[in-house]
Chains A and B, each alone.
Chain A
Amino acid sequence: MNAPDHASSVGAVTAQKARFGEPLRLKGGAELPSYEIAYETYGELNAARTNAVLVCHALNASHHVAGYYAEQPDNIGWWDNLVGPGKPLDTRRFFVVGSNYIGSCFGSTGPASINPASGKPWGADFPVVTVEDWVEAQARLADRLGIERFAAVIGGSLGAMQALQWTLSYPERIRHSIVIAAAPRLTPQNIAFNEVARQAIMTDPDFHGGHYYEKGVVPTRGLRIARMIGHITYLSGEAMAEKFGRLLRRGAPGFDFDIDFEVESYLRYQGDKFSTYFDANTYLRITKALDYFDPGAEYGGNLSAALARAQAAFMVVSFKSDWRFPPARSREIVRALLDNRRIVSYLEIDAPGGHDAFLLEDRRYHNALRAYFANIDL
């Protein structure tokens, strides 16, 4: 195996936007008359156009996958530990595309964008989007970039659902699907967590039924709580114990309702930070996209039947400490792929990081991805 010689950053990068005038018909029945997709690319598309890899992001990330912005050197891409020269997804060999999903608040058309019909922000009127819709939009971006077929599509969590959906929406346009920390559909328990988060937002007095932009307010309290709930499900109990223990902020219990335990401080900090940069209407829509994802549904719940049309080779990775989408959920996907005699490898990594482990640099995990990418023919 090649050593990670001189693994380094892709350096300063620039976000780009692609504008699409042709309407996008959504699974929910609505239509986006026109839209923009924010994206970044790293590396060079080869002459045969066989080396493109699409990176799909999860809930709160964006198209800023790797590198940094020249004017914001601390704003480093969310998967910079994986993508770059000499890194497991090596940009000296692959042309990597990070694309922001429709409905986001980071650049692609979303609830805060202007609705051409009214001249005002879409707000609550922005349609509910699905994983299938995102793949459709990504396919159009691929057309625009001259990519007929991706060497691989990779993602973790909600991003993994997109990597899986690609093999179903466009089986002939994807050679490898790398599905990390995934579930083939949410459990009622997963949906319950999402619903609590949505209720936190929608019952915030500043929500105004989703039309808060024109009121000049933000449902900060709801967003904070939504984020706190999310964070509890991203970390494992073990990771929380390791990180915070029962450490007391003030050395002794305060017998009041200020911050006692470190974990409270952490959650409040995460909630506060999130509520300053994330859009509540976007949060509602992505949690719905998660809830609705269920490729087996059209086949009476039979995932094997649903995956029959996939042609790609698969790499499925799960983490033992992930209780949001535990290994058993990934094994459902693997079982369905085996039923269809697809090419598949499955790794179950004993890392402590919980659901967020897919973002962390674990040697076993990254070495396996490095080896997998190295074996992809160009």
Chain B
Amino acid sequence: MRADLAAIAQWVAPQARVLDLGCGDGSLLRYLWQQRQAPGYGVEIDDAAVLGCVENDVNVLQVDLESGLSLFADQSFDSVVLSETLQTIHRTEFLMREMLRVGREVIVSFPNFGHWAARLQVLFGRMPVSETLPYQWYETPNVHHCTVVDFEDLCRRLGVRIRERLVLHEGHAVTWLPNLLGSVAVYRCTAA
């Protein structure tokens, strides 16, 4: 399992109701159901990933996140997860507000654009390509890259309270200079 998903799974309480946005083939939801008896729903737009969810016997809803979470009632989930998807969203602030509307807490992970390898590539005049940023600039689905510091600024602006943060590199926690040495960041947030 991807390191950020393992972290997310730890933060989900047993039997919690989970909404996984951009859930891929439903692996996290399947894991949460099997390991923590946490029932959930995934939201996914990609046809092949949606089929993967159905094969994995995971509840999946094929709707576009950009149009919001109007299918879901206020505070109807314990945890709303957005893993490695934030950077692909056009209406970032809108979606963050929507997540806080439907969930008691939100768990967000994203590739850290502040990682030294990314900075170095930009310094040499290139858009970064790496394990966590595996696309060429002309084919990337990513539209809104951010760094650890940038994300925390946004949380402050939206009045979001950060409860926990885990910055990772190659599956290991990074505590020293996380914005420089971490390639993936995971946050657990609530409304203030």
Contact of B54 among A331, A334, A338, A375 (CB under 8 A): A375
Q: Cα distance A345–B70 when bound, in Å?
A: 16
How many A-B contacts are there with CB distance less than 8 Å?
48
Interface size band for B? 10 to 19
User: Which residues of chain A are near B41, meaning CB under 8 Å?
Assistant: 338, 344
Smallest Cβ distance from A338 to chain B, in angstroms?
Answer: 6
Smallest Cβ distance from B49 to chain A, in angstroms?
Answer: 11
Q: Cα distance A367–B50 when bound, in Å?
A: 11
Chain A residues 92 to 139 lying within 8 A of chain B, measured CB to CB, are none
- Residue contact B54 to A372, C-beta cutoff 8 Å: yes
Does B73 belong to the interface (CB within 8 Å)? Answer: yes
- Residue contact B54 to A345, C-beta cutoff 8 Å: yes
- Residue contact B53 to A345, C-beta cutoff 8 Å: yes
User: Which residues of chain A are near B53, meaning CB under 8 Å?
Assistant: 345
User: Which residues of chain A are near B73, meaning CB under 8 Å?
Assistant: 338-339
- Residue contact A367 to B71, C-beta cutoff 8 Å: no
- Residue contact A347 to B72, C-beta cutoff 8 Å: no
User: Which residues of chain B are near A344, meaning CB under 8 Å?
Assistant: 41, 59, 61
Does B47 belong to the interface (CB within 8 Å)? Answer: yes
Does A19 belong to the interface (CB within 8 Å)? Answer: no
Smallest Cβ distance from A21 to chain B, in angstroms?
Answer: 43
Does A335 belong to the interface (CB within 8 Å)? Answer: yes
Q: Cα distance A338–B41 when bound, in Å?
A: 9
Please, what's the 1-or-0 string for B145-182, where 1 marks a CB less than 8 Å from any CB in chain A?
00000000000000000000000000000000000000
Contact of B59 among A1, A339, A345 (CB under 8 A): A345
Q: Cα distance A365–B71 when bound, in Å?
A: 22
Does A192 belong to the interface (CB within 8 Å)? Answer: no
Chain A residues 310 to 357 lying within 8 A of chain B, measured CB to CB, are 331, 334-335, 338-339, 341, 343-348, 350
Interface size on A, residues (CB 8 A): 21
- Residue contact B63 to A331, C-beta cutoff 8 Å: yes
Does A368 belong to the interface (CB within 8 Å)? Answer: yes
Q: Assess A346 versus B60: contact at CB under 8 Å? Given A334-B71, A338-B71, A338-B73.
A: yes
Contact of A345 among B17, B60, B76 (CB under 8 A): B60
Smallest Cβ distance from A370 to chain B, in angstroms?
Answer: 9
Contact of A338 among B50, B51, B72 (CB under 8 A): B72
Please, what's the 1-or-0 string for B24-56, where 1 marks a CB less than 8 Å from any CB in chain A?
000000000000000001000001001101110
The 4 residue pairs across chains A and B that have the minimum distance between CB atoms: A371-B54, A371-B55, A346-B61, A348-B62
Interface set of B (CB-CB < 8 Å, partner A) = 17, 41, 47, 50-51, 53-55, 57, 59-63, 70-73, 76
Pull 7 A–B residue pairs with CB atoms less than 8 Å apart, ordered by A: A335-B70, A335-B71, A343-B59, A346-B60, A371-B51, A372-B54, A375-B57
Name 12 extra pairs, CB < 8 A, besides A338-B41, A345-B61, A348-B62.
A331-B63, A334-B61, A335-B70, A338-B71, A345-B53, A345-B54, A346-B60, A347-B60, A364-B47, A368-B51, A371-B51, A374-B55
Interface set of A (CB-CB < 8 Å, partner B) = 1, 331, 334-335, 338-339, 341, 343-348, 350, 364, 367-368, 371-372, 374-375
